[in-house]
Amino acid sequence: MDELDNTMIGRGRDAIEMIVDANSFDENHIEGFEFDPEYGPGSVVGTAKIDGQTVTIIANDAQAFNDRFPVVFGGVIGLEEGYKMATAVYRTLEADKDKPLAEKRPVILIVDTPGNGPGKMEEIAGMNKSTGGYQLALAEARKTGHPIVAMVIGRAISGAFLCHGLQADHILALSKDFGTMIHVMPTTSVSRITKMDIERLEELSKSNPVFAAGVEFFYKLGGVQEIVENVEGMRDAVIRHIKEIAAMKAEGKSELLGPWGRGILGSKRGGRTNRMDTIAKMNEEFDVVADKYINA
């Protein structure tokens, strides 16, 4: 058995070929717009066909290095990568702006990122604006009607996952057997911030998904819509979820998709047992004073 059979980490380009129709991926082109291949080399964008349907592909290339920003390697989403990914989304929005809901092309995110590029130059140049812009672009595409599916094939960690994944309608993930990792913050960092003993957090992580990391815990939280058990199942899962998302949007059920939908799903799965009650209580308290703010 090839050692790569046990992981998809670092194999974003391979994942694209496994998911899209054979020989259909046209890199760096979206509806007549051509991307500079030297800009944001850690990001892979373009157009492809999935089950005959035109889609926009946005992925990480963990094998690429960005010579202008040395901290960007191994799948890190840096300043240029964030802007390139955001531009891919906005070019998609522009291409389909006059099309009916049923013809809005899906956006497929292939996720394998260990985080953002936290270098001094990136921070000075405005990396937060870059990744924030990408996150906003995906939110606009989702609300405009484009079905967005994120397929986590390796790492989905920290702020990079916030911009490259969490704005999707549905998030899918390969099984933990492939080394798939999903977490916002490692337990050691949680310990430093909360001042809780690492031993206490490790104990909580065995039963409380909020304190834990991993595909199965995120599934219980509603963060992951479906766990895909093998790489051969990625293509069929993506196709199935594109159709499911499109049908829900056509039926006016968008509130069950995206971040809000994941919160509802997490409540049903028992991972967020107090969420809906808390929201209801906050709405109740706000209604009492709403006129003081809304009509001020």
Kindly list the averaged pLDDT for each block of 10 residues, start to end, along the chain of length 296: 69 96 97 94 96 97 87 86 96 97 97 79 72 94 97 90 93 94 77 86 75 82 94 97 97 94 90 84 91 76
Provide the pairing of β-strand 181-183 with 226-228: unpaired
Q: Are 29 and 47 in contact (CB under 8 A)?
A: yes
Output the pTM of the full model.
0.89
Token pair 């050692």 in the structure block, residue: 3
* Nearest Cα residue to 62 out of 178, 155, 124: 155
Task: Region of 56 please: left (phi>0), alpha (psi -120 to 50) or beta.
Answer: beta
Compute CA 293 distance to the chain's CA centroid, rounded to the nearest angstrom: 34
Q: How many residues does the chain have?
A: 296
* Residue 156: φ, ψ to 5°: -135, 90
Return the pLDDT at 2. Answer: 47
Would the CA dihedral through 257, 263, 264, 269 be positive or negative?
positive
| CA-based radius of gyration for the chain | 19
Token pair 């304190």 in the structure block, residue: 211
Would the CA dihedral through 104, 105, 111, 115 be positive or negative?
negative
* Nearest Cα residue to 42 out of 5, 70, 17: 70
Provide the pairing of β-strand 53-60 with 43-50: antiparallel
* Residue 70: φ, ψ to 5°: -60, -20
Q: Are 262 and 223 in contact (CB under 8 A)?
A: yes
> CA-to-CA distance for 92 and 295, rounded, in angstroms?
38
Return the pLDDT at 123. Answer: 66
* Nearest Cα residue to 231 out of 153, 294, 179, 157: 153
> CA-to-CA distance for 145 and 147, rounded, in angstroms?
6
Q: Are 63 and 9 in contact (CB under 8 A)?
A: no
HEC readout, 133-178: HHHHHHHHHHHHCCCEEEEEEEEEEHHHHHHCCCCCCEEEEECHHH
Compute CA 117 distance to the chain's CA centroid, rounded to the nearest angstrom: 17
Return the pLDDT at 120. Answer: 67
> CA-to-CA distance for 135 and 145, rounded, in angstroms?
16
The encoded tokens of residue 108 equal 């497929």
Cα–Cα distances in Å, from 140 out to 66, 109, 171, 258?
A: 28, 15, 17, 12
The residues pairing with 45 across neighbouring beta strands, listed in sequence order, are 58
Q: How far apart are the first and last CA of the chain?
A: 68
Return the pLDDT at 1. Answer: 34
